[in-house]
Structure 1
Amino acid sequence: MILFCPRFIRPLLAALALAAGMAPAAAAAPATVRLDYQHSGNALAEQYAIERVVIEPLPWAGNPARNLDDSDRGVNRVEVVDVKNGDLLYSRGFSTIFGEWRSTDEAKSVTRAFQESVRFPKFDKPVRVRILKRDERNAFSVVWSVDVDADAPDVVRKLPPAPAKPIPIRVSGASADKVDLLILGDGYTQAEMAKFEASARSLAEHLFTVSPFRERARDFNVWALALPTQESGVSRPSTGVHHASPLGTRYDIFGSERYVLTVDNRALRELAQYAPYEFIEILVNNDTYGGGGIFGQFSTAAANSDWANYLFVHEFGHHFAGLADEYYTSPVAYQSNGERQEPWEPNATALRDPARLKWQKHVKAGTALPTPWPKQAYDDYARAYQKRRAELRAANRPEAEMSALFKADLAHTRALFAQAPHQHEAGAFEGANYESNGYYRPEMQCIMFDRSEQFCSVCREAIGTIIDLYSRPAAQQ
């Protein structure tokens, strides 16, 4: 393990930028402020409480020209405002694990607390940090606020030396000009550190073969970082496997055997702070199919799965661009309330007014809304497929059998859709957002719908919007 102090990181980053042919940023970036807090409650109520304010070791990695978020994504939004005059200084949309947990059955009878953090550039004045939340009309309102003076005596400024050195996977330029993606590893022993690096490089390379990441590859920096574990792999409680790991990542989140997250936000942030990042994907050293993604928080993928490439990109779509799941036949932990409110996600709609479809510009004139597709045939096959999938998991069959089932399912879907009249066309196809009826997706097939390789046109545009928010055009660099 390589130990190094934060004071060595800036020269490292400057050297990497120069090696990539980029000049150092003209002005020094501000410090990075992190507000750690507790978010607690149940299905009926929620509360917030501040834990601490931290000045992270690295300067702010964001684009100073895009401090304000105009993408309208996320269940929540953080706003940093001037205490004296109320001027908005910084904003970002995000979602939370707590917000997902509130939709489970457990939240109806249990109160839980989750750790959360928001990060923002340091300003030369006290600020008010506001957390906003969407209502049923998709309008934001303030649910909590706290005043933060980053120069106050109780702010944490002294941090321990970095426990490991970040690995530069792709360095395209200065962090302020690029999207910084950090790939963390969990469940890798010291002897498996080379395996982690190889997986990080391979999966990052695959990401940049998928449009629109392929066309925008030069707008990204990618870093990798992991701490060794004593045991190989992360916990999978449903099979009796419990492993201690630095990030606490595990399967079976909210009772879903394939849902992989960490709820240890403190551990996540205390490791991630030693590398430049705006987005995080965690690779778990496991073969079992699984992953997860929370917009503005992080995503996960089982790095050794036969479907690792798909998992990495699909889950990153959630985390990076706030894309909705478009599938609806797989069981999930969330409980529907029966209402069909318009989703904030850019790739799902309740289609209350077809004349005002949110992705109308992608739809050819004369296309029927809703748009016909072989839904009945798809659903009939899916029922048998999901039954077989449940049987394989219940019997704890070898992962190769599950992978073969996934391959057969994808082949069947492709053959079915190849005969459909609206394949590869935008419209409003019923079945999305975990619901068979009442929600619609933009195209028949997309990586957010099944295990195919490409994003639909609407998802590609939504991803491009976020790349623009975090990067700077070459002419301005």
Structure 2
Amino acid sequence: MRSLITIIGIGLLWIANISHAQQVATVRVDYHHSGNAKTEHFALDRVLIEPLPWPGNLNKNIDHTNRGVNLFEVRDKATGNLLYSRGFSTIFAEWQSTAEASKLERGFQESIRFPKPTKPVNIKILKRDTQNQFQTVWSVDIDTDAQDVVRKQAGSVRKPIPIQINGASSEKVDLLIIGDGYTQKEMTKFKTDAKRLSDFLFSVSPFKERAKDFNVWALAVATKESGISRPSTGKYQASSTGASYDIFGSERYVLTLDNRALREIAQHSAYEFIEILVNNDTYGGGGIFGQFSTAAAGNDWANYLFVHEFGHHFAGLADEYYTSPVAYQTGNDIQTEPWEPNVTALKDKAQLKWQQHVKADTALPSAWPKQSYEEAARQFQKVRADLRKNNRPESEMSALFKKDLHESSLLFSKDPNFRTIGAFEGANYEAKGYYRSQMQCLMFDRSEQFCRVCQDGISAIIDLYSK
């Protein structure tokens, strides 16, 4: 496949999304992941060759970052040699900790992607045990040259919009922004939204300093109506990706459970990471490590939503807040150190994940105005719940968020440990037992900067994918 050169404007040269040397096909394995609170099962759905060549760096096929609830490995069937691996998390794992999972079984669609091997392979999906070690939970042999492998024709490829192109995909991180809930007449709005929010992403460290390591593409399939479904208000609309609010009963949680619809759109672009922009004004979003993230593009807090949820999807960052209700639990026993790079159970201070950033005289755990913050948070959550219950205008919710951020920032800024890197109790949805590295971070509240530890976690993933 020859490189594609797109010229946008005078003197702007956009380099092809696939380099001359990159000729390896992209394999996608679709499978079903099902079970209940105590069991899980896997079943192969289909194996596909996607229409575009593999976008990744073939010199970085092995993942050493130790992120995710799960890990998949592709090994040569004959020799057992490891050819490719990536950590990831799943919607099933989140659902498994909900109340519903104790009552019934459900199945979810999932996919893994990797460069096409030359010989039959064995694929293993591994999951962390109670000691945080990966153990095999599914194994399947696959011949990617078999007759029943689905082969997508390149002639049917949709053309993504180049938002920011800095080089060949094999040398860059490829981010695909998919629009959902945009009508044909709103395609210009989608492009504007994608450009606006990606620009903000690259104003936040460490994305700011590493912007040249990214390509950003945009792609949308028009819908008949603006916006996506919000069942809690009786609104149901057709969606190109299947995205919806109210996932697992949380009014602000936006995900798609239709993995096939999502992948059928995404396969028309080079990508390693996906952010779905939904054309809604209501506050909401979501993010699953190694799968995708979502954000409501029309909300006043869209900048925060886009970057916060991308932090989950891109780097496996944990939520550091703990006063907001969530629809699922962490699934972690506090006796076990969480795998996420930005939270800790602080069982061994000498082996603190971010020890290199902690000064010798810093107390662990570290003091902060926790009681005052929690008292204000309880009142905030009560008002927030009342606004949603009474279906008040989104402007009132936005004003409440602004007031909450102002008051908490003022509280923190007066504390002597405000800039300290230590271990502050309250993180990972738990008031006790889990700790974050700094008092304030984009993963803790609606401030717009990542803490030093989150920046490190993000940089490690950028290094995994870029040259």
Shorter-chain TM band:
over 0.9
Shift of 1:173: 0.2
Alignment pair present for 1:275 and 2:269? yes
Q: 2:122 aligns with which of 128, 131, 152?
A: 128
Deviation at 1:276, TM superposition (A): 0.4
Q: 1:426 aligns with which of 421, 426, 429?
A: 421
**Native 8 Å contact 1:63 1:177 kept in 2:** yes
Q: Is residue 247 of structure 1 aligned with residue 241 of structure 2?
A: yes
1:208-264 Cα offsets, whole Å, 9 max, x none, are 000000000000000000011111100000000000111110000000000000000
Contact kept? 1:279, 1:298, Cα under 8 Å: yes
Where structure 2 has 5 or more consecutive residues not aligned to the other structure, the ranges are none
SS at structure 2 position matched to 1:426: coil
**What are the within-5 Å matches in structure 2 for residues 192-341 of structure 1?**
192-335=186-329, 339-340=333-334, 341=336
Deviation at 1:164, TM superposition (A): 3.6
**What is the distance in 2 between the residues matched to 1:68 and 1:336?**
27
The aligned amino acid for 2:406 is A
Q: Secondary structure at the match of 1:222?
A: strand
Instruction: State whether residues 58 and 276 of structure 1, in contact with CA within 8 Å, keep that contact through their aligned partners in structure 2.
Output: yes
The answer for the alignment partner of 1:3 in structure 2 is none
Match for residue 98 of structure 1 among 75, 78, 92: 92
After the TM superposition, which residues 41-56 of structure 1 pair with which residues of structure 2 at under 5 Å, given as runs?
Answer: 41-56=35-50
Report the 3-state secondary structure (helix = DSSP H, G, I; strand = E; otherwise coil) of the residue aligned with 1:106: helix
The match for 1:475 is none
Match of 2:445 in 1: 450
Structure 2 residue corresponding to 1:350, chosen from 334, 342, 345 = 345
Structure 2 Cα separation of the partners of residues 162 and 363 of structure 1 = 53
Equivalent residues of 2:3, 2:19 under 8 A apart: no
Partner of 1:389: 384
Match of 1:12 in 2: 4
TM-aligned CA distance change 1:194 to 1:14, over 3 Å: closer
Give the 3-state SS of the residue equivalent to 1:65 in structure 2.
coil
Alignment-derived partner of residue 454 in structure 2: 459
Alpha-carbon distance in structure 2 between the residues aligned to 1:408 and 1:371: 26
2:228–2:280 contact (8 Å) kept in structure 1:
yes
Deviation at 1:165, TM superposition (A): 2.0
- Tell me how far apart the structure 2 counterparts of residues 230 and 73 of structure 1 sit (CA, whole Å): 39
1:75 aligns with 2:69: yes
TM-score calculated relative to the size of structure 2: 0.97
Tell me the CA shift for residue 12 of structure 1.
3.0
> 3-state SS of the aligned residue for 2:464?
helix
Write the deviation string for residues 410-441 of structure 1: whole angstroms up to 9, x where unpaired: 00011100111111221000000000000000
Deviation at 1:336, TM superposition (A): 6.3
Aligned length: 463
Shift, 1:166, TM fit: 0.4
Q: Could you say if the C-alpha distance between residues 25 and 163 of structure 1 is closer, same or farther in structure 2, counting changes exceeding 3 Å? A: closer
* Secondary structure of residue in 1 paired with 2:343: coil
Q: 2:463 aligns to what?
A: 468
In structure 2, relative to structure 1, the CA distance for the partners of 1:15 and 1:293 (3 Å cut) is same
Corresponding residue for 1:362? 357
Matched, 1:146 2:129: no
Relative to the length of structure 1, the TM-score reads 0.95
Pair 110,257 (structure 1): closer, same or farther in 2 beyond 3 Å: same
Which position in structure 2 is the counterpart of 1:180?
174
What is the Cα-based RMSD across aligned positions, in Å?
1.7
User: In terms of mean alpha carbon deviation, does 21-30 or 150-159 score higher?
Assistant: 21-30
> Percent identity over the alignment?
66
Q: 1:336 and 1:11 mapped to 2: Cα distance?
A: 44
C-alpha contact (below 8 Å) 2:51/2:154 kept by paired residues: no
Residue 410 (structure 2) aligns with: 415
Residue 189 of structure 1, aligned match among 174, 183, 186: 183
- Is 1:163–1:227's contact at 8 Å kept on the other side of the alignment? no
Contact 1:73-1:322 at 8 Å conserved across structures: yes
Is the partner of 1:316 in helix, strand or coil?
Answer: helix
Q: Which runs of 5+ in 1 are unaligned?
A: 1-6, 473-477
8 Å Cα contact 2:70-2:89 kept in structure 1: yes
